[in-house]
Amino acid sequence: MASQEIEALASALARLPGLGPRSARRAVLWLIKRRETALSGLVDALAGVREHLVECAMCGNVDTTNPCGICADPRRDARALCVVEDIADLWALDRARLFTGRYHVLGGRLSALDGIRPEDLNIASLIDRVAAGGIDEVVLAMNATLEGQTTAHYLAERLEGFPLRLTQLAHGLPVGGELDYLDEGTLAQALRARRPVG
Ligand SMILES: [Zn+2]
């Protein structure tokens, strides 16, 4: 049997998404064998994040600075704003390096089932940002789920009347997707979003 400290580490790791008790024990063993290298590095990285992590008051992202690196970056297009449900979505979009504007993180999605109302999300701060002016386009990058689309619809209504272009992500065929394998909802979306060739 391992010591209390090692058991505590294993059970803490086992709570991480994607790790069960078995992989957590393997990770602990792996770290113990690399005490001077990997373990020390992990401890420093965790301590660094715990000490310096702040929420960006502008967009809701988390970073070690406030405003965050994205909001503070002068090369970013301040006239384009991409609204996402969660920080994970911001990171995913930003990894793709296709969007050069800034973001706004809602912190969730509207859900009657879970009792999530507009005032539970960062919607008031979004309206304030838009109302302050200087934004030409708002991209609603909600998930292609019922709740995501309900949220997008609600935001579209709230942003009506502002002098800006309101867009949303296209839904349809995934890259490499074969028609035969797609579910009906995806196929229907792709057909509805069809566009002229060329
Ligand atoms: Zn920010």
**pLDDT given for residue 15 in this prediction:** 95
Cα 103 to ligand 1 centroid, rounded to whole Å: 7
| Cβ 119 vs Cβ 110: under 8 Å | no
Cα 80 to ligand 1 centroid, rounded to whole Å: 13
Ordered DSSP codes for 106-140: -SS--BTTTTB-GGGTTTHHHHHHHHTS---EEEE
| Cβ 52 vs Cβ 62: under 8 Å | no
Cα 57 to ligand 1 centroid, rounded to whole Å: 7
Cα 105 to ligand 1 centroid, rounded to whole Å: 9
Cα 84 to ligand 1 centroid, rounded to whole Å: 12
| Cβ 84 vs Cβ 90: under 8 Å | yes
Cα 73 to ligand 1 centroid, rounded to whole Å: 9
Question: Which pairs count as long-range contacts for 146-153, CB under 8 Å and 24+ apart, including other chains?
Answer: 147/109, 147/110, 147/111, 148/85, 148/109, 150/109, 150/110, 151/85, 151/106, 151/109, 151/110, 151/121
Per-residue pLDDT of the chain (198 residues; tens, 9 = 90+): 579 999 999 999 999 999 999 999 999 999 999 998 999 999 999 999 899 999 999 999 999 999 999 999 999 999 999 999 999 999 999 988 889 999 999 999 999 999 999 999 999 999 999 999 999 999 999 998 999 999 999 999 999 999 999 999 888 888 888 888 888 888 888 888 888 887
Cα 182 to ligand 1 centroid, rounded to whole Å: 36
Cα 120 to ligand 1 centroid, rounded to whole Å: 19
| Separation between Cα atoms, residue 91 and residue 81, nearest integer Å | 15
* Distances from the Cα of 54 to the Cα of 11, 64, 127, 134, 155, angstroms: 26, 6, 22, 26, 26
Cα 119 to ligand 1 centroid, rounded to whole Å: 20
| Cβ 118 vs Cβ 127: under 8 Å | no
Residue 116's φ and ψ, nearest 5 degrees, are -90, 115
Cα 131 to ligand 1 centroid, rounded to whole Å: 17
**pLDDT given for residue 1 in this prediction:** 59
